[in-house]
Amino acid sequence: MRLIVARCTVEYAGRLETRLPEALRLVMVKADGCVAVHSDGGAYKPLNWMTAPNVIEDNSDHWVVRNPKGEAMTITFHEIFHDSDHVFGEDPGLEKDGVEKQLQELLAASPDVMEPGLTLIRREHYTALGPVDILCKDTAGNTVVIEVKRRGEIDGVEQLTRYLVDLANDPSLGTLRGMFVAQSIKPQARTLAESRGIVCVEVDYDELRGKQSDKWTLFNQ
């Protein structure tokens, strides 16, 4: 990861046009090519960003970051105070709590609960951004990329979106669909997901556990 603390201006041109006036900011360039511009506040959300894949045109005093969609973000550096590179190595990903982990296991064992006709491809499918919870095939032969949460919030939708972008580079997976699954999904998260073509599904954890128990009872009889 490259970290630059600089007084800069940022202009974005794509689906709309935006401009950040000159101010002191943090510019992050991640190993996968993502570029994010942060202020000193606002938690995790950047002021402006470009997700991978990107091409960075370095013109010394300004960068032009372009993606295949034709969008461009121009960062003009007026004064640089810090510029450093850091090697993070492979990230093990977020460790799920007990309930979320078991919820993932239960859904992988009964994928048709999420959508009739789904069949499991694999759990914990590795990507450069971390493991995808569940991969399935639907009845039309599409690959369904599934992110599982206890509580469905906007950050989970963003995480699934990043996985979909990364997996689109693997032609062996064919056509991709996203599915966001949780015990409860916040309205804002649902709105964001559906605007990106991601299906939202709410499931009952206790009901899933009961189905699993019924299967074991039948097996042992």
Counted domains in the chain: 2
Beta strands in 39-185 (DSSP E): 48-50, 55-58, 62-66, 72-85, 119-127, 130-137, 143-152, 176-185
Residue 144 — pLDDT band, cuts 50, 70, 90? Answer: very high
Percent of the chain at pLDDT > 70 equals 89
Among 35, 55, 85, the domain-final residue is 85
**What per-residue confidence (pLDDT) applies to 87?**
86
Rounded-to-integer distance, Cα 188 and Cα 208, Å: 26
Q: Which tens digit of pLDDT belongs to each residue from 31-82?
A: 888 899 999 876 567 899 888 888 999 998 999 999 988 899 999 999 999 9
On whether both 214 and 115 belong to a single domain, the answer is yes
On whether both 75 and 105 belong to a single domain, the answer is no
**What per-residue confidence (pLDDT) applies to 212?**
57
On whether both 104 and 213 belong to a single domain, the answer is yes
**pTM confidence score:** 0.56
CATH number for 204 = 3.40.1350.10
**What per-residue confidence (pLDDT) applies to 101?**
83
* Domain enclosing residue 78, as ranges: 2-85
